[in-house]
Chain A
């Protein structure tokens, strides 16, 4: 199912949740809406689901206008951050709900409903929980039941609002992989909202980065990570060192000192220099582009993270260096960015 969003605008009082948003979602995609809180991602999702109505704009699902239909008529599966399972129903009845409320003329027989629920519980690997109640389940189990419930109506689109937001880190990782493989299996067009960049990059085929009600960039995880379109995206995705610089006639200055990096084709004016933490090469004092003193070194995982106070400024930055490189607090080092981006501020 293809979803087209055109010129979507939505305001809550004076707060602009969506500001003229355009987006096309292709059939079978697994799309992530990524952004900080208040960026409008959940509002966009809820408008597509029919749980919210826009002030202006159009949403079409497979060429048909969605806005003229209520949420129940759109055949959209919605998964809530806090599960929203029916607390007084067993797991089985929760999953069966969408089938039981169908109009009598198209409602399945009791046997067919039972078979379908069984099939869905098998799909989410929780058939053994059928008789339990939601408050007897763990967070991860609840979310999988919520997903099974949404899938029961054979939705044309699956929408997930921060599906793993309320879960602890380990369960969240497991569910991410599980969601990916589930999507591979059922191939239903899916959109999920998240503020967790790692989640978006790891799970989605395509990522839409949003901020303040606008789409900042759309692309594959690799594209948005390697080629961020602007300062916001660079700062939001991946861990970056961010330095305020001044560009004047093809020269970059940090405070008073000029930096020996190319600035071809940059517009003069106050700008921001972005370097990924692992892209900052640490060398002996005097080498590189920036100088600084190591304040602190912490070692974990495949890297060591050094906090470096830059010379001639009161700014300290964090860089990731290989573990075998010798770094001690007090060392004076030279820093050279392997890759960097400069955006006008």
Chain B
């Protein structure tokens, strides 16, 4: 058991004792360390719950209410519209491309950062966070500047008849950019904590580099990796800003689900708009549940044996 965990357990035990002391102090008519009246405690909790209801639960309910406002039949009709199907297909495709590439990149980056020492490491770690700190619209614009007709690679691409902007490659690139940090971020602390000793043990026992990776490293980080992939996927499917800039909004061709939601809404097709939005909301709910389960797994697994 790790020291942290022992400490945590100690803390829990200590606070349990304090509670006991509180009660006995109150019974004796003394003022305990916690002096807020019961009413205040209830009020504070109520405010928090109301806030959550207003800003999280209510919008979610509205999405589903609007989607089913004209019945189930209209809901499914809206989803089986060719434009909606094309948007779903494109979203899944873009997510599949960006998640798998970011899985690979994130794994390599985390491996390099966690297992080796080199100058400029801190800089690299901050660089990985860049997509989080830049507005997605800017991220999209960067790709317009790079691959647009007047952009850096523009002439070259035009010459070879390669379409990047307003097509799948551009959407995928922008999505990869904004979702890059998830996998790396999930893995770096985990791999740093686990250190390199198990790998060294494997190597000294005669394992090759690949054997070491697949038999020792990967099993040790699998839950963290899954966690990163999950968040990466959620963001890849839900990304609006960056994709909006590079997509060109060509109907039935370069609209992803979030873009379609906006277009339909602007055209007063509320049911269709909320029907597509409800899919994204469901994705969010599934992600939330999976994330909770994975976090519990992670808590159990990253502890030193």
Contacts and interface: CB of A to CB of B under 8 A. Distances in A.
A82 B205 contact: no
Contact of B303 (A80, A84, A101, A135): A135
A87 B202 CA distance: 12
Contacts of B203: 51, 70-72
Given A85-B305, A86-B216, A87-B305, A97 B200 contact: no
A184 B131 CA distance: 60
Interface in B26-48: none
A158 to B, nearest CB: 11
A10 interface: no
Contacts of A41: none
B292 interface: no
Contacts of A75: 206
A315 interface: no
B205 A72 contact: yes
Contacts of A72: 203-208
A338 interface: no
B215 interface: yes
Nearest to A146: B201
A146 to B, nearest CB: 8
B54 to A, nearest CB: 44
B204 A51 contact: yes
Which range contains the number of A residues in contact with the other chain?
A: 20 to 34
Contact of B208 (A49, A97, A101): A101
A72 B211 CA distance: 12
A101 B206 contact: yes
Main secondary structure of the interface of A (DSSP, over half): loop
B220 interface: yes
Contacts of B159: none
A103 to B, nearest CB: 9
B197 interface: yes
A134 B204 CA distance: 19
A152 B208 CA distance: 17
B305 A97 contact: no
Interface in B201-230: 201-208, 211, 215-216, 219-220
B295 interface: no
Contacts of A150: 204-205
A235 B126 CA distance: 47
A80 B205 contact: no
Given A101-B215, A134-B305, A135-B305, A86 B208 contact: no
B219 A97 contact: no
Nearest to A80: B197
Given A86-B216, A87-B198, A77 B305 contact: no
Which range contains the number of B residues in contact with the other chain?
A: 20 to 34
Contacts of B204: 49-51, 71-72, 74, 76-78, 150
B207 A86 contact: no
A51 B298 CA distance: 29
A149 interface: yes
Contacts of B216: 86
Interface string A67-103: 0001111111110101111111000000001100110
A80 B200 contact: yes
A133 interface: yes
A49 B204 CA distance: 7
Given A51-B200, A87-B220, A102 B305 contact: no
B305 A101 contact: no
A142 B301 CA distance: 18
A317 interface: no
Interface in B173-216: 197-198, 200-208, 211, 215-216
A85 B192 CA distance: 17
A143 to B, nearest CB: 12
A153 interface: yes
Given A72-B203, A78-B204, A150-B204, 4 more contacts: A75-B206, A86-B202, A97-B202, A101-B206
> What are the nearest 10 A-B pairs in CB distance?
A134-B305, A87-B305, A98-B205, A84-B197, A101-B207, A72-B206, A135-B305, A84-B201, A78-B204, A88-B219
23 contacts: A71-B203, A72-B205, A72-B206, A72-B208, A77-B204, A78-B201, A83-B305, A85-B201, A85-B305, A86-B202, A86-B219, A87-B304, A88-B219, A97-B215, A98-B206, A101-B205, A101-B207, A101-B215, A102-B206, A135-B1, A149-B201, A153-B205, A153-B206
